[in-house]
Structure 1
Amino acid sequence: MLDAASVRVWCSLALQALGSTRAEIDAINVFPVPDGDTGTNLYLTVESAGTAVEAVWSAHGDAAPAFSDVMHAMAHGALLGARGNSGTILAQLLRGMAAVPAGPETAGGPWLREALVRAAAAAREAVAHPVEGTMLTVAAGAASAAAAVDGDATLPVARAAHAGARTALEATPGQLAALARAGVVDAGGSGLVTVLGALVDALEGDASRLRLAPVARPPARTPVVAAAVAGADPHMTEGGPAYEVIYLLDAGDAAVATLRERLDGLGDSLVISGGDGLWRVHVHVDDPGAAIEAGGEAGRPHRIQVTHFCGEPPAPEAVRDGRAVVLVVPGQGLADLCAEAGASTVVAPAGQLPASGEIAAAIGATGANEVILLPNDPALRHAAAVAVEQARTAGRQVALIPTRAAVQGLAALAVHEPERRFDEDVVAMTSAAGATRHAELLVARERSWTTAGICERGDILGLIEGDVAVIGQDVAATAQDVLDRMLAAGGELVTLVVGPTAPEGLAEGLQAHVRRSRLAVDTVVYEGGQEGACLLIGVE
């Protein structure tokens, strides 16, 4: 019977088995990308699973935890530490197993049969475009063989699953052209056979003894890859995307369903495993920033990993001495204003956020070895971070000031002094941006709930620091109300950035209002050319 102790041993044996065979598995990794890391990714995934299992045991002291608790810990740990395509699929396999109800102490043959079937189905559902001849095929072979075994005993089911997985693995070269050309079996499937072999070893051994002492390395249960392993070309590529993007995501089911569709259009090798609000996202793309931004729209991505693996990395750019400032702005008027101040810009009209590649290109185009980036939009936080990392690999010193609005970027640019030391300049610009409150006026597109109450289509919304503070029917009156609220907390300078949809005389009327009500406050007006918001307001 499987119990908490045998699951603990299974983790330990699987980790040891993958540790001894990961170089071999790495060597036969040719699909979907020949990056030679499948064995390593599986090892790190199982290592994370084992750490979670040990944490459950530690929490229970001398008493053994419940079987279901240990299985859920193994699956959760794998999800948190999943690496690569294969690790993400393995995490989903374990999650599928853990989802099958079991008794508090032990699970027998019927549970393992259902768990393996559920695991294979869950893994296939997690992959956007399942391909035969891969780890999914091997999982299906294990599940089919296990389902054919009768009886309550667990060991015969585990042995059958392992044998079925081996048989399916040996057939993978005939199902996938990349494997046939290289003369190897599937690397992810090879790792899965190794993990299932460790399960057999755990059930055959004395689990109560093994969990109290170091576990000896199990007999090798890896597939026969023959001398053909030497024929695998580690540089072979199928011409796929250049980057692997992996992150954990806090999001609901509906948001993840939308994310699947969006990521499927951005790249390939898409796998999203997990559930209950926590997901592991894996995708191969040419624009990693877009993949991360999509995750940011679906929920909260974290533990983000971006790896370049297709061909040679981009050649380092020519870097000269000097300092540059790059701003993302919503209109051409603002871009012209920044250019007059010597800064570079990326123009991003409303609803058209630039990808990380576009921002990175703007940083590179400056040619400077010191660059300060002002994204001016919280929705760009992930794309900006990726662009900064790309620029740093080219040998640049790049600082990201997390400005949330264009008026904050203007305030930071106003105090920029390239003659100062780089860190001093960044501190001064960050301070100026942080001391600038921001607001904007928008027209409501539909009836909805807001933080200021219910708005109707066509209402004027005054947003302060991103939240709706005022709902009105007249642009000038709403703008005046917003300004009064902002200046109630004090201020020395008001910046008004007028868009093309603003009514004539709006800026002049607001300037006059400020002069009447706040004698010590100065006002500056710019034509921003921005779409969407008819007025941007900054108060320093």
Structure 2
Amino acid sequence: MPHPLDAAAVRNWCVQALDDLGRARETIDAINVYPVADADTGTNLYLTVESAARAVEAACAGEPTPAQAVRAMAHGALIGARGNSGTILAQLLRGMAEEIGADEDAEGTGDAEGDAELLRRALRRAAVAARAAVAHPVEGTVLTVAEAAAEAARSAPGDCAAVARAAWTAARTALEATPDQLPALSRAGVVDAGGYGLVTVLGALVGALSGERPGGPVAERAARGRARTPRAVADPGHDCAADGPAYEVVYLLEADDDAVAALRARLDALGDSLVVVGGDGLWNVHVHVDDAGAAVEAGIEAGRPFRVRITHFGDRADRHADRAADHTAPRAVVAVVPGDGLAELYAAAGATVVTVRPGEPPAGGELAQALRRANAPEIVLLPNDPELRHTAAAAAEQARSEGLRVAIIPTRSPVQGIAALAVHEPDRRFDEDVVAMTSAAGATRYGELSVAERQAWTTAGICQAGDVLGLIEGDVALIGTAPDEVAVAVLDRMLAAGGELVTLVVGADAPEGLAEHLEDHVRRTHLAVDTLVYQGRQSGPLLIGVE
């Protein structure tokens, strides 16, 4: 029986899409040859939809409108998007959400004809939004499949289920034609992996609206006769883009529209496969580049990048033979740290240190001088504070103008800097070292205890002067009066998401015995989690890192 376009349908769509992608994941991975044959498109699409499904499930704990449910789906896909195809799928969902939510918190049209027209417009807007997000659209990809689906939906008669079925049928037909449009697919004898995934997602939409799942794994039928031996096609040693960039860089970014426009231009000049999706201050950035550090730094200049993921496309040492000299070049790490104890810790690990006092951030000239003082042609800069991103970028640019090679790791706390420094290996190639350090920093969640100086509004409520504030990722999560109680609560919240190592940096204002109390708590309540304690002597009671 046909189902209306409501929140329950959106929830069912997510559940069915996740199930169908789970079944098709290995097949999609196996035919993934464009733009890079890294055999992960199916996995990336699955993880993207998994994030979307979690967001919808959370929204459905209440009684969401159709607009709210689709917005939750789009937002979940945006923050969890993986890879090129996952990022494009997130933008397709965002386009649908923008159309369905045009009337804020609309309760639905109330009739089958109105819902069908809304779905037609949503699919059209999705296709347009996805194409606009890709810097250099290519035919024979998921974009082509999305446009075919939207075009068929526009003229399809009937209710929502009929519109969805028409879109799915046209998408399947378009998928079959992708090898005729894209030489890389024709050579490999496969259809486009991203398009395959979209056909699967649209099939789930048909099931959610009609109650009748399309017969069999449709995408497999579309690929039959072309994917002769999919596993051989996705041989990790085979790269259809052998001359392409070496790294995939993906991150979430908080930035305004003007900054993102400039970011697109800069990243387009750095690499290819550029897709920037999102809006309303939150974006998902995906690009393939040779200089991963420069791609991350571009994000720092545009706003606040976080959840940075950098993936190397296999061993391409031969292609980078012209950089062999970099392998043996001396390299330095420059770090900005608050507190003499942290300065000693970083210096002992070999870093050149810029020590700052509360309320006295370093100027760009001071950082540039520290980069020169490091006396190395290659330098990694750890700002360890989100407020220093522009200052760090200016100092790095000044150093580059003097012939130095500088990469900024977007560390937002000294504990992230500690994690990055722990994996630093000056003997490996510069790009590889930057990738490893960026990944280690990004995998470290950070928290902090501070004391309120005055009454103020916070994300956890109103605090009074003297209250102990527990911050997680820069936001106030808890307000209390006892430092040990607040610290335990912050630790428990951070470890609820998992973790293997807790780093505690004890500040000058920490109560006696705080670190020992926390160590004991972790040992008793969080099995298999190790704890490291450093005397940082920074302002404030405590810094916390969880890896």
Do both share a fold (TM > 0.5)? yes
Letter in 2 for 1:10: W
SS of the aligned residue for 2:276 comes to: strand
Query: 5 Å matches for 1:179-218?
Result: 179-205=185-211
1:293 to 294, 297, 303: 297
Instruction: Tell me the residue number matched to 2:83.
Output: 84
Change (3 A) 1:377 1:157: closer
Instruction: Tell me the residue number matched to 1:98.
Output: 97
Give 1:311 deviation, angstroms. Answer: 3.3
Q: Take 2:259 and 2:17, find their aligned partners in 1: how far apart are those partners? A: 34
Change (3 A) 1:247 1:334: closer
Letter in 2 for 1:33: V
Give 1:226 deviation, angstroms. Answer: 2.2
Once superposed, what is the RMSD of the aligned Cα atoms? 4.2
1:119 to 106, 116, 126: 126
Q: Take 1:192 and 1:376, find their aligned partners in 2: how far apart are those partners? A: 34
2:10 to 7, 12, 15: 7
Change (3 A) 1:379 1:130: farther
Give 1:204 deviation, angstroms. Answer: 1.7
Letter in 1 for 2:224: A
CA contact (8 A) 1:84 1:282 kept: yes
Instruction: Tell me the residue number matched to 1:132.
Output: 139
Instruction: Tell me the residue number matched to 1:225.
Output: 223
Instruction: Tell me the residue number matched to 1:284.
Output: 288
CA contact (8 A) 1:263 1:294 kept: yes
Give 1:156 deviation, angstroms. Answer: 1.2
SS of the aligned residue for 1:222 comes to: helix
SS of the aligned residue for 1:274 comes to: strand
Instruction: Tell me the residue number matched to 1:414.
Output: none
Query: 5 Å matches for 1:470-509?
Result: none
Q: Take 2:374 and 2:278, find their aligned partners in 1: how far apart are those partners? A: 45
Query: 5 Å matches for 1:138-153?
Result: 138-151=145-158, 153=159
SS of the aligned residue for 1:198 comes to: helix
Q: Take 2:214 and 2:427, find their aligned partners in 1: how far apart are those partners? A: 41
Give 1:289 deviation, angstroms. Answer: 1.0
CA contact (8 A) 2:396 2:406 kept: no
Give 1:377 deviation, angstroms. Answer: 11
1:166 aligns with 2:172: yes
1:53 to 53, 56, 69: 56
Give 1:2 deviation, angstroms. Answer: 1.2
1:245 aligns with 2:249: yes
With 306-315 and 116-125 compared, the bigger mean Cα shift is at 306-315
Q: Take 1:390 and 1:141, find their aligned partners in 2: how far apart are those partners? A: 48
Q: Take 1:249 and 1:186, find their aligned partners in 2: how far apart are those partners? A: 28
Instruction: Tell me the residue number matched to 1:468.
Output: none
Please report the TM-score for the alignment, with normalisation by the length of structure 1: 0.61
1:41 aligns with 2:75: no
Q: Take 2:350 and 2:216, find their aligned partners in 1: how far apart are those partners? A: 60
Give 1:318 deviation, angstroms. Answer: 8.7
Instruction: Tell me the residue number matched to 1:352.
Output: 398
Residues 60-110 of structure 1, C-alpha deviation per residue, up to 9 Å, x if partnerless?
A: 1xxx42111101101111001000000000000000001114641456110
Q: Take 1:333 and 1:299, find their aligned partners in 2: how far apart are those partners? A: 25
Q: Take 1:82 and 1:237, find their aligned partners in 2: how far apart are those partners? A: 23
CA contact (8 A) 1:289 1:386 kept: no
Change (3 A) 1:184 1:100: same
Change (3 A) 1:108 1:354: same
Residues 156-178 of structure 1, C-alpha deviation per residue, up to 9 Å, x if partnerless?
A: 11011001101111111011111
Q: Take 2:64 and 2:368, find their aligned partners in 1: how far apart are those partners? A: 63
CA contact (8 A) 1:201 1:218 kept: no
Give 1:332 deviation, angstroms. Answer: 10
Instruction: Tell me the residue number matched to 2:530.
Output: none
CA contact (8 A) 2:368 2:398 kept: no
Which structure would you say has the larger Rg? 1
CA contact (8 A) 2:251 2:308 kept: yes
Please report the TM-score for the alignment, with normalisation by the length of structure 2: 0.60
Give 1:274 deviation, angstroms. Answer: 0.5
Give 1:333 deviation, angstroms. Answer: 8.2
With 262-271 and 228-237 compared, the bigger mean Cα shift is at 228-237
Instruction: Tell me the residue number matched to 1:268.
Output: 272
Residues 448-469 of structure 1, C-alpha deviation per residue, up to 9 Å, x if partnerless?
A: xxxxxxxxxxxxxxxxxxxxxx
Q: Take 2:59 and 2:90, find their aligned partners in 1: how far apart are those partners? A: 18
CA contact (8 A) 1:327 1:375 kept: no
Instruction: Tell me the residue number matched to 1:407.
Output: none
Question: Aligned pairs, how many?
Answer: 376
Residues 358-382 of structure 1, C-alpha deviation per residue, up to 9 Å, x if partnerless?
A: 458xxxxxxxxxxxxx999999999
Note the residue ranges of structure 1 that are not aligned, 5 or more in a row: 207-215, 361-373, 401-425, 436-540
Q: Take 2:289 and 2:396, find their aligned partners in 1: how far apart are those partners? A: 25
Change (3 A) 1:111 1:379: same
